[in-house]
A and B are shown apart, each in its own frame.
Chain A
Amino acid sequence: MKIPRFLKGTTIASLVAVLILPFVLPSTSLAIEVLIFSIAALGCNLLLGYTGLLSFGQGIFFGMGSYATSLCLQRLDAGLVTSLLLAFVVGGLVAAVVGGLSIRRRGIYFVMLTLAFAQMFYFMAYTASGLTGGDNGLLDVPRPPLRVFGFEISTLGASLSYYVFVAVLFLAIFVALRRIIHSPFGSTLLAIRDNEERATAIGYNTRYFKIVAFMISGSITAVAGGLYAMFLNFAPLSNIEHLMGEQILFMTIIGGTGSLFGSFLGAGFLIVVGDVLSAIWPRWLMLLGFLLIAIVLFMRGGLWGCIESLMGRFRGHQNTKKDPPLSESPTGSLSTKEEAKNER
C-alpha cells in the first residue's frame, strides 16, 4: 500500500512530538499551550511562509475565535464541537474581510493595513463590552465534554484528556495543511510568493488565491483561539491585542517560515523558554528581542532551517539549499521583490 506523502516525514515527527510532549514538559498545561499556539503558528505560516504575506492580523482571528467559542458556549449553551465550528467559520469570514481589503495593496502598505485592522478590532472588542466583557474579558468560559452524535467521549475535565483532544486537532490541522500545500492551490501560493507579476501573467487571479489563503489561515487561527479560551476558562481582551498577533508571528519566524513543523518548534520554543525565563527574570522579553534579531541576522531558516542544515551536514550531503521554498525567510523574498522592482 502506498502511503500518501502528507502522512510521511514531518507528520511522523509531529506525531512523535505530540506523544512525548506531556512527559518531557514540567506540566500538561504547558504542553496544551504549546499545541494551541502551534496551531495558531501553522495558520500564520500558510500566509507568511507559503504566500509571502506578513500579516499582523493573526491576533484578530485568534481573538475572534476565542470570543466566538466563548459566547457560543455561554449564551447559546452549545456543545464543544459546535462552538469550535463557529469559531472556524467566524475566523474564515473575518479573514476574508480583513484579507480581502488588505491585499488591495502590496508590500509595506499591505502590512500597515493589517496592523490598522488589528488595532481596529482591538478597540471594537474593547468598546463592545456587552458582548466581549471589554477590559475584563469573558469570565467563566466552560469546557464542556466532548460529545460526538450524542455519545460522550470524554469530559475533558482532566488536563491530560484536554491535551489529547488538542493534540488530535493539532495533528488533523497539520495533515490538512500538508495536503493543501502539496495541492495545485498550494503550489500556486508558492508561485505567488515567488513572483506575483509572473503568476498573474500566466493566468492566475492572485487575489482569489490570497483571499482563500487568508480564510484558511483565519479559520485555523480562530480554532486555536477557541481552544485557548476553553483552556483558560477565560477569554481575555489580550487575545485580540496586536501583541497576540506579534507573538504568533514571532513563533512562526523563530520556528522557520515555510516549514510546518517549524511552526511547532517555534511555538514550543517560545512558550517553554518564556516559561523558564519568566521564572528567573521578569524582563525576559528583552532577551527574546535579542533572540529574534539573532535569528533574522544569522539563521534565516529559523529553528527548522538549523535542524535541516545540521541533518544535511550529518549525512555528508551539501544539500542545505535543496528546498529553498521551505527554508528561505519571507523577509528575504520581500527584499528580492523590492530589488526586482527597483531594477525596473
Chain B
Amino acid sequence: MSDNFILETSDLGMAYGRFVALFGVDLKVQEGTIHAVIGPNGAGKTTLFHCLTGNRLPTSGRVMFRDADITRMPSHRRIGIGMSRSFQITSLFQNLSVRENLRLAAQGRHMVKAMNFWGSVEGYPEPLEISEELLDRLGLMDRADVIAGELSHGQQRILEVGMAMAAKPKMLLLDEPTSGMGIDDIPAMTRLIKELGHDHTVLLIEHNMDIVMSISSIISVMHQGRILVEGAPEMVQKDERVRTAYLGEAI
C-alpha cells in the first residue's frame, strides 16, 4: 500500500438484494487533498459514503484507512482512528445549545473520559476548549447559547460540519455539506471547506458544481455504481463521458 493514500477501497461492491449499487469501486484518496465524488442521482455516491462511514457493510471488497482494514469497524469507533463525518440531512442535538453540541462532539473522542459519571463537565476541560475554538472558527460565537434547533438553516449546516471537525480528525467525510443551503450562505461553506483542506484530508460528496470545481484537487465522477472518470477539475470538466452521463440523466 502506498503511504500517501489515506483512504483506499478495493473492489468495493454493494448489492441490495438483486439491485447492485456499487460495482467494484477502487477509490484512492490522497492525504491532504480535497477529493470530491460527484455523479448524477442514483450513481451510488450515497451508498459509497455509507460503506466508508460504517453505516452499511459492503457485500464485497474492503476499505483501508491508513493501511488498516476498517471494512467491518462499527461507525462509533471510526472517530478514534481519525475519521469523522457530517450528514446530508442535518443531524444535530436539536434541544441542546450550540456550544454543548460542539462540546459533546469533542468529548466523543475519549470514550473512557466520557463514561465518567462522577466528575463534572467542567472537570474535563479539553472538549470545552475545543468547542470555544470551533465556535470562533465557525463564526457562531454569538449564537453559542442558542438551542441548535433555533439556528437558521445555513448556520445549522455550518454547525453540522463543525460537529465533524470537533473530533480533530485526520480525514473528514462530508455528505453534501451545502444541501438545502441558500445562495447567500454557500460562500461561507465553500470557504470553510477550503480551509479544512489545509490541515485535513476531505472527501466530499457534492451536487453543487461551482463548489466542486473551485475547491477540489481531485474529482471522481460516479455513474451507475462505478467510477467513470477521475482527475483534476479541468480534466473532468472537459471529459466527454462525464457530459454524456449527466446529459443522459437529463433526457
Binding site for B on A (CB under 8 A): 4-5, 179-180, 182-188, 190-191, 194-195, 197-206, 208-209, 212, 216, 321, 324-325, 328, 333, 336, 340, 343-344
State the CA gap A320–B109 with chains docked (Å). Answer: 34
Binding site for A on B (CB under 8 A): 53, 74-80, 84-85, 87, 89, 91-96, 100, 103-105, 107-109, 111, 113-121, 124, 147, 163, 166-167
Q: What residues of chain A lie closer than 8 Å to B80, measured between beta carbons?
A: 203
A212 close to B115 (CB less than 8 A): yes
Interface centre among A179, A183, A197, A321 (most CB of B within 10 A): A183
Q: What residues of chain A lie closer than 8 Å to B104, measured between beta carbons?
A: 187-188, 191, 199, 202
How far in angstroms is the closest Cβ of chain B from A25? 33
Known: A186-B117, A188-B114. A203 touches B109 (CB 8 A): yes
| Chain B residue, CB-CB nearest to A198 | B91
Known: A203-B80, A204-B111. A183 touches B117 (CB 8 A): yes
State the CA gap A143–B159 with chains docked (Å). Answer: 57
Q: What residues of chain A lie closer than 8 Å to B114, measured between beta carbons?
A: 184-185, 188, 204
Q: What residues of chain B lie closer than 8 Å to A182, measured between beta carbons?
A: 120-121
How far in angstroms is the closest Cβ of chain B from A330? 12
| Chain A residue, CB-CB nearest to B119 | A183
Q: What residues of chain A lie closer than 8 Å to B120, measured between beta carbons?
A: 4-5, 179, 182-183
Across the interface, B87 reaches (CB within 8 A) one of A179, A185, A198, A208, namely A198
Q: What residues of chain B lie closer than 8 Å to A209, measured between beta carbons?
A: 115
| Chain A residue, CB-CB nearest to B91 | A198
Per DSSP, chain B at the interface is loop
State the CA gap A194–B90 with chains docked (Å). Answer: 13
Q: What residues of chain A lie closer than 8 Å to B111, measured between beta carbons?
A: 203-205, 208
B75 close to A201 (CB less than 8 A): yes
Known: A185-B114, A190-B96, A195-B93. A203 touches B79 (CB 8 A): yes
A194 close to B75 (CB less than 8 A): no
A184 close to B107 (CB less than 8 A): yes
State the CA gap A344–B88 with chains docked (Å). Answer: 10
B93 close to A198 (CB less than 8 A): yes
Across the interface, B116 reaches (CB within 8 A) one of A4, A5, A185, A328, namely A185
Given contacts A190-B93, A336-B94, 20 further A-B contacts (CB under 8 A): A5-B120, A184-B115, A185-B114, A187-B104, A188-B114, A191-B93, A195-B92, A197-B87, A198-B91, A199-B104, A200-B76, A201-B79, A202-B108, A203-B111, A203-B167, A204-B76, A204-B114, A205-B74, A205-B111, A216-B117
A183 close to B93 (CB less than 8 A): no
How far in angstroms is the closest Cβ of chain A from B84? 7
How far in angstroms is the closest Cβ of chain A from B93? 4
Q: What residues of chain B lie closer than 8 Å to A190, measured between beta carbons?
A: 93, 96
State the CA gap A5–B121 with chains docked (Å). Answer: 11
How far in angstroms is the closest Cβ of chain B from A267? 24
Across the interface, B96 reaches (CB within 8 A) one of A194, A197, A202, A204, namely A194
